[in-house]
Each structure stands twice: as C-alpha cells, then as structure tokens.
Structure 1
C-alpha cells in the first residue's frame, strides 16, 4: 500500500527539497504543498488535495514520532518564502555554485579547471563550516550574486550579526593579507580585501543593516596580516566558527529570519 501511495506522489511530479531543517514537498511548478519540520516532528499540509501524496513521498524521511496537520499561523518570513518563485530563491545554492557549474558543464579549459579546483575546495570547506552553525541559530546563503562584481561566497546571518565571507585558497603556501591585497605564495597580489570590503558595503545597502566583511583563508602554511587591517576579519576554518559564535549578540531570532528572507530573494541584489 505504501509503495503504491509513494508511486502516486511521484506520478504527480511531487519533489522533496531540503531547506535549512525542513523538507518541502513541491509541485512541478515550484509551489509548495507541504513541509516536514524535522526538529518539531511535524508535517504541515498546505493542500488537503495533495495530503496523501505528500505524505507518501515524505514517508522515507519521517523518523521518530511525528504529527500531521495544517501549518501554524505563518510568519511574515513564511509568507515571503511561500510567494518566492524557485528561480529567484538563492537558498538552494551550493557553496561554489558558479565554479561547480563551470566544472560540471566543461565550459573552462583544462588549465583553467586546474586553477579553479583549489578555489572550489576552499569555498566548499568554508561553506561546510558555516552550515554547521545553523543549529546555533545562524542562517547561511552561498553564491549570492552581485551584479557586475561576481558573487559573495557566503552570507552568514545570525545572533552575531551579518557577515559577508570570501574564501581564499591558501594552496599550502604563505598568505599575506594587506590593507587592500592578498598575496598567495609568489603569485600576483589579488584585490580580495578591497573586494570583500566593497561587497559588505553593497550588502549593507541591500539589507539595510550593518554587514561585517571577512576573509577565511583555507590551507595556508603561514598566514600573515598587517596590523593596520582592522575593518576586515581574517580567519581560518578551524577558528572561524568559534570567532563568529563569540560575537556579541545583535540580532533576535525574528530579525535573523526576516533578514534571511530578504537576502535569499535574488531581486534584493539586482539594484545594489
């Protein structure tokens, strides 16, 4: 019986998509019909018409004791999320989304792909460290587009404020971070410091709240920072989470959700 129910759900084209502690059941056009809140152990059904089919496709993911019912009274953030078109939602972006696309579709040559891999691994490493903070009340977006300036590698929103994070691949070499430039080994200096400072300014404008710029240097054999650099945090993956969780609390949970809802909408970034 359960197999037939699940086949019915799949036959309707229902898809189960993870999103920060919830599993959403969506129709082929992207509309949500139900979601499973894992921490609460509850399946909220938005459409009675699709109740049985939604439960069928969710059944492999249900654990422990769980209940089914109508959704709680939606918050403003919930309403905004439900009205957001899937193509405009940045929340599903993976760390290094743009680099992954180029590597997966073979758009770059062999030499370029070789240079891109350390940058991708750095973004994935930092992304994993930041994603692990979600249990402590933080929310994370990856690969946030800035028109004309590439992408913010990671945007972190939580109790300690909003952080605009750029991952720097240390390539097991000495990394020197200056007031404007970053030098990795003997390579030409790159404007990472200047870039992340400007990106944080644009994020501040887009979200109408203070945003702190940060560089996270991955796999360097020695990290040096000039003492005069005070407005940009320079971290390593092993210490980044501790530094961020120790930051003074400035945002309430409702503020975090509201800012996350604004930040995940692609249109928020189109005019900054």
Structure 2
C-alpha cells in the first residue's frame, strides 16, 4: 500500500498537468493540490492550463465579496480585508481582479488575486498617465474634457469603466498588454510592456473618437464594441500599437434578421 502511495506522490509532472486540465472549477483544483504534500509543491496556486468556468463577482460588504460559481451554482464568500474600503474593481481577467487604489498618489492600478492574496502594484500604469490628464499636482487633476480641477479621489473613482489584460500577470510576462475604456467620453487607451519601460503610460488607442461600451481579448486580437453596436477588431501582436478598425462581422446564420408579415383572413 505504501509503495502505491509513493507512486502517486511521485507521478511525472507532465502527467500531473494533464490531470489538472480535466478540472474546471477552482475549488476542485484546490482539492487536487491537497491530495499530498508533493502535489501541493508541484502544482501552482493558480492553474495555468485547462478550461476554467468563470465566476461572477458582486461586492456585498466593505471587507468581503460574493462570487457565484456558474458550474456548481454555489456561492462563495471571499474575505478581502487587505483591500481598502474605497478601492474599486475595474476588471477581472485570468482569475485576477484589476482594482484602482483610490487613495494612492497617482491612482495606482493594482492586480490582485483574491485566492492567494498576491497583489502586483507596478505592472500597469497609474490613472495619472491617461491621455486625457493634462494636469496633476497629486491632489487635483485637470482633464482635457473640461478645463477645471477635480479632486483626485473623484478622478481615481470615475476614470476607468473597464480594464482588461491579455494574459495572466507576472513580472516575467514580457507580452503583457492591457486595454482600458476610460473617461467621460468612454475612450480607449492601451499599455504594452516595453523592455525600456521606465515611464509606464497609458497611450491613446489608434481609432477615431467613439463611445465604447465593451472590450475583450480573444486569440491575440482585441475586440471592441461602440455605442452604435459597431464591432472593431485590432491585432494585439504588432510592435508599436494595435492595428485594425471596424470589423464587418456577418450575422449568425441561425438568427432571424428580417420580419415576414402573413395575411390571415381565416
């Protein structure tokens, strides 16, 4: 019996990774890591492969958040006591939350893992570097949309509508890219990692001024929808900036796109 336990404990790493691909929810993955000490050491805290069922996040209290597992219809309460009360969540990608530290000097954009409590505060540029910021003295901002000062707490809480990243974040990820919908005009900005990135800044997106309502990364492309329901597609792998424009997507074949009126005189 002891020999059989040792065989499972010392299973080849590649085979263990194949097993993890069959787990779709994070709580099942945690149980897998708890099988034995060796598996706990071999497997990362956050799964980096396989299919993952998304969770919905809804803040319910100052120091807690409620998540809904779509696969098991369960509700999990995660205590986020390390996150200050006035921080706001502006995105969720690859199992990480993207938050703005409202009380910070320039509006730090923090990437936080709610399960491991690991937070990365220096991967994305702060709010103070957005293209519409034309003045900032630490406590007051001047934005290009309206030439008057606004309190930094107000700006930090209201500038970002949504922020998405293209891959799981870490300091070794040289391909990290982020796109943000920001400002009262719901404009687009992007950040792309640069080897000589001493001055991280959000850069204006190469597109006409539109009001954008949603953005996602999918298969190394960026897809954005504006308020007129026009779909934009951009290549995210280009060197300097995303390249693309309006994407003419055909409607699904199984969706009715016209109405037919029938005359019934029976």
Structure 2 length normalisation: TM-score?
Answer: 0.28
Specify the structure having the higher radius of gyration (Cα).
2
Q: Hey, which of these two has a bigger chunk of strand by percent?
A: 2
User: Structure 1-normalised TM-score?
Assistant: 0.27
